[in-house]
Chain A
């Protein structure tokens, strides 16, 4: 469990101001979620593939991330062609393949693939916490930004704590697969111990933060600087999103 990014060569996306990268990302993914025309879905897939090549991220990394496809997507894509619609494409007797269901299934799969790949590409060109700082610079409330930064920082620490506690439980003879109230109680106590540890650590963290001046000066330090390249890439993303949405509306008329 880590918020780090894979080591790769630096691409245009890596060099971009994170604020511009985030705005571009959100504009693109919301435009993608608006599309249902197959011609545009094809163009979206090609654009996503181009983005992947530009990012320079290793293919193995993206494939690893896509290995965990949502179960809901899988179920919908497999079931919709058989339960949704009126026009039958193929009648197998007890079950029939429907045109509308097949279309909806293709739309969902293509949108999902494009959005999740774009998110993985764009947000893994810099550490996740850099993007949280960029959101803070763009107006995210300080309470949310500070919470997100601390949560991200301590995920790995508490993840290691959990791993150690589970190892200790196994060494003491816990049968992890044994169902029943005993197992539920063990899990509940494990969860409770993790919460107690988290809160105890929070006291020390807060004292350390106060000693370093936390809470004295609330003004966000702007550490990002936009360049002409950022403007150009963001303009390209806005243009792509606008074109896709405009064509979707035009094709739908």
Chain B
């Protein structure tokens, strides 16, 4: 769900960078308020590496297979480190594999990063004062699935409206519906995986679930 280079007009790509810079500034401001921000950096960085690697795991969804995005889980575990982590991950993906792009790094950061932060708040507020596997699984599912659906919505909206061609309102509407409908199974799979991973972490190592 990365928008590659070459599609979006220059003002939109620059706008994406501006929005991302503002979000990163806010996140870093919150991180620096912590008593020892340097202590959390290795944790955030190694979890970012783990997410990057885990996103390479294939999930068979017949007749094809899909890659996990894990942006919801990343938001849940990394909190304010999520947007910087996503930008770093997107940068490595663009340079190492050619996925996404450097001109669209900001806009892709918005598409994936903002829903990840939404997932963080959904999980934290949802599980506040509640312990046990049931609320953890429920809110982890919501965080994982909604993060993907929000990303898909932003992705479809940007892709369909910003393509340098006049497709007509009807075609644009159909294209958006097709993109959104095609990603519903992925959102459900991500929701289930996020819920299962969260309950696994709750059993095996609850401190990971408390986040960075």
Which residues on the B side are within 8 Å of A76 (C-beta)?
A: 7, 163
B136 to chain A, nearest CB (A): 12
A residues 156-215 with Cβ under 8 Å of B?
Answer: 157-159, 161-162, 176-179, 181, 183-185, 187-199, 201-203, 205-206, 209, 214-215
Q: 7 additional contacts, CB 8 Å, given A158-B46, A196-B208, A205-B42?
A: A33-B5, A72-B7, A84-B163, A119-B95, A184-B196, A202-B45, A202-B46
CB pair B208–A199 under 8 Å, yes or no, is yes
B100 nearest in chain A by CB position: A70
Distance between Cα atoms of A194 and B204 in the complex (Å): 12
Instruction: Give the CA-CA distance A104 to B28 in the complex, in Å.
Output: 39
Q: Which residue of B lies closest to A69 (CB)?
A: B98
A36 at the interface (CB under 8 A from B): yes
Q: Are B10 and A33 in contact (CB under 8 A)?
A: yes
Whole-angstrom distance from the CB of B32 to the nearest CB of chain A?
A: 8
Instruction: Check if A70 sits within 8 Å of B95, measured CB to CB.
Output: no
Instruction: Return chain A residues, CB-CB under 8 Å to B32.
Output: 143
Do B98 and A65 have beta carbons less than 8 Å apart?
yes
Residues of A within 8 A of B (CB): 1-3, 25-26, 29-30, 32-34, 36, 65-66, 68-70, 72-73, 76, 80, 83-85, 100-101, 103-105, 107-116, 119-120, 123, 128, 141, 143-144, 146-152, 154-155, 157-159, 161-162, 176-179, 181, 183-185, 187-199, 201-203, 205-206, 209, 214-215
A-B contacts, 15 listed (Cβ < 8 Å): A1-B53, A73-B4, A83-B167, A112-B6, A144-B87, A150-B46, A151-B52, A155-B49, A162-B54, A162-B57, A187-B68, A188-B192, A189-B196, A205-B42, A205-B46
**Cβ-defined contact, A195 with B42, below 8 A:** no
Say what secondary structure dominates the interface of chain B.
Answer: helix
Give bound CA distance, A178 to B198, whole Å: 23
Tell whether A143 pairs with B46 under 8 Å between CB atoms, given A84-B167, A104-B164, A162-B54. no
Structural contact, B197 and A143, CB atoms closer than 8 A = no
- Distance between A239 CB and nearest chain B CB, rounded to angstroms: 19
**What separation, in Å, do the CA atoms of A110 and B164 have in the docked complex?**
13
Is B135 part of the contact surface with A, judged by Cβ < 8 Å? no
B116 CB–A CB distance under 8 Å: no
Q: In the complex, what distance in Å separates the CA atom of A214 from the CA atom of B166?
A: 54
- Sorting the interface of chain B by its residue count into under 10, 10 to 19, 20 to 34 or 35 or more gives 35 or more
**Count the A-B residue pairs with Cβ separation under 8 angstroms: how many?**
254
Nearest opposing residue in chain A for B57, CB measure: A187
Q: Judge whether B77 is part of the interface by a CB distance below 8 angstroms.
A: yes
- Given that A26-B102, A29-B103, A66-B98 are known contacts, is A179 also in contact with B38, CB under 8 Å in the complex? no
Q: Are A188 and B193 in contact (CB under 8 A)?
A: yes
Pair B48/A151 contact, Cβ less than 8 Å: yes
- Bound-state Cα–Cα, A6 to B58, Å: 28
Tell me the bound Cα distance from A128 to B94 in angstroms. Answer: 12
Q: Is B8 an interface residue (CB 8 A)?
A: yes
Q: Would A177 and B101 count as touching, CB distance under 8 A? A: no
Contact of A70 among B43, B99, B168, B208 (CB under 8 A): B99
Chain A residues near B60 (CB-CB < 8 A): 176-179, 183
Indicate if the CB atoms of A199 and B193 lie closer than 8 Å.
Answer: no
Closest to B201 in A: A192
Which residues of B lie under 8 Å from residue A84 when comparing CB positions? Answer: 163, 165-168, 171
Tell me if B169 is interfacial: C-beta within 8 Å of chain A.
no
- In Å, the complex CA distance between A247 and B204 comes to 61
In the bound assembly, the distance between CA atoms of A183 and B3 in angstroms comes to 30
8 Å CB contact of A191 from B2, B14, B37, B57: B57
Q: Is B121 located at the chain interface by the 8 A CB criterion?
A: no
Find out whether the CB atom of A112 lies under 8 angstroms from the CB atom of B165.
no
B63 to chain A, nearest CB (A): 11
Chain A residue nearest to B204 in the complex (CB):
A196
**Chain B residues near A159 (CB, 8 Å)?**
53, 56
Chain A residues near B81 (CB-CB < 8 A): 147
**Min C-beta distance of A249 to chain B, whole Å:** 12
Q: Which residues of A contact B44 (CB under 8 A)?
A: 147
Q: Is the CB of B3 within 8 A of A30?
A: no
CB distance from A61 to the nearest CB of B (A): 12
How long is the Cα–Cα vector from A141 to B32 in the complex, in angstroms? 11
